[in-house]
Structure 1
Amino acid sequence: MEVKASLKYARVGAQKARLVADLVRGKDVNEAVKTLTFLNKKTAGMVKKLIESAVANAEYKKVMDVDSLYVKAIWVDQGPVLKRFRPRAQGRAFGVRKKTSHINVVLEEK
């Protein structure tokens, strides 16, 4: 049995989020949370909260032992890009692309 959780439209680029996702893939849930607690990345807090949400889903379903969960799969997909303009000199405007991503996690019992 597996439990899932997802975070949609996270205001972080997919490439940056994948760096954090690669660190916790395959790890025990407690070890993954400890790793993310001390990681100095913006995405680390988002992924930590997402894993804790998946653990809460497992507790709510009461079908598996929470202490024996591990991160079976975690993947990051690219979300929509918010396009904004930044004023520049002499009346020009440069485009700014604010990237978003969708982060998904699947936990399973060992």
Structure 2
Amino acid sequence: MISKRKKKSDTKVYALGQHIRMSAHKARRVIDQIRGRSYEETLMILELMPYRACYPIFKLVYSAAANASHNMGFNETSLVVSKAEVNEGTTVKKFKPRARGRSYPIKRPTCHITIVLEDTTVYDEYVISHDTYSSGGLWDKK
């Protein structure tokens, strides 16, 4: 019989960046690349990607790992990005003066980025009880 994984309740640590001055669409392009990867692999990917959105996301991942090691005592090598999401924030609206006393609106989008890291060492291994197989159990010939 195979028993399922058991996990502790407080294994997740998060960092939240609000009102980051970039489009949510451009930040999602980077977030989709790091979701589900390990912490060390995520830092390497973010350093090498040529997008402007990488730097604030890099800072958030680094901050979440610092929260995990300082507040919870987790090892940084066993952290995995379990959840990464980007939501649209408020839009900063300005007016640019133009010719003949007119003005054109300028809309500067912002976004909120949430990074959740999870510790993988708290998962128990799969446990196979051998008594089912030793007695013939499932494959007993008759």
User: Residue 45 of structure 1 corresponds to which residue in structure 2?
Assistant: 55
Shift of residue 22, structure 1, vs aligned partner: 0.5
User: Residue 13 of structure 2 corresponds to which residue in structure 1?
Assistant: 3
* Distance across 2 between alignment mates of 1:109 and 1:79: 29
* Number of equivalences: 110
Alignment of 1:1-110 (within 5 A): 1-110=11-120
Between 1 and 2, higher relative CO (CA 8 Å, sep ≥ 6) is seen in 1
Instruction: Give the partner amino acid of 2:13.
Output: V
* Distance across 1 between alignment mates of 2:72 and 2:92: 39
Q: TM-score scaled to structure 2, two decimals?
A: 0.74
Mean CA deviation greater in 2-11 or 62-71: 62-71
> What stretches of structure 1 move > 3 A for 4+ residues in a row?
none
* Aligned-residue CA RMSD (Å): 1.0
Shift of residue 35, structure 1, vs aligned partner: 0.5
Q: Percent identity?
A: 35
* Distance across 1 between alignment mates of 2:49 and 2:100: 42
| 3-state SS, counterpart of residue 86 of structure 1 | strand
Shift of residue 63, structure 1, vs aligned partner: 3.6
Shift of residue 5, structure 1, vs aligned partner: 0.4
Q: Unaligned 5+ residue runs, structure 2?
A: 1-10, 121-142
| 3-state SS, counterpart of residue 85 of structure 2 | strand
Q: Unaligned 5+ residue runs, structure 1?
A: none
Could you give the per-residue CA deviations for residues 40-86 of structure 1, whole angstroms, max 9, x where no partner exists?
11110000010000000011124422211010000001111110012
Q: TM-score scaled to structure 1, two decimals?
A: 0.94
User: Larger % of helix: which?
Assistant: 1
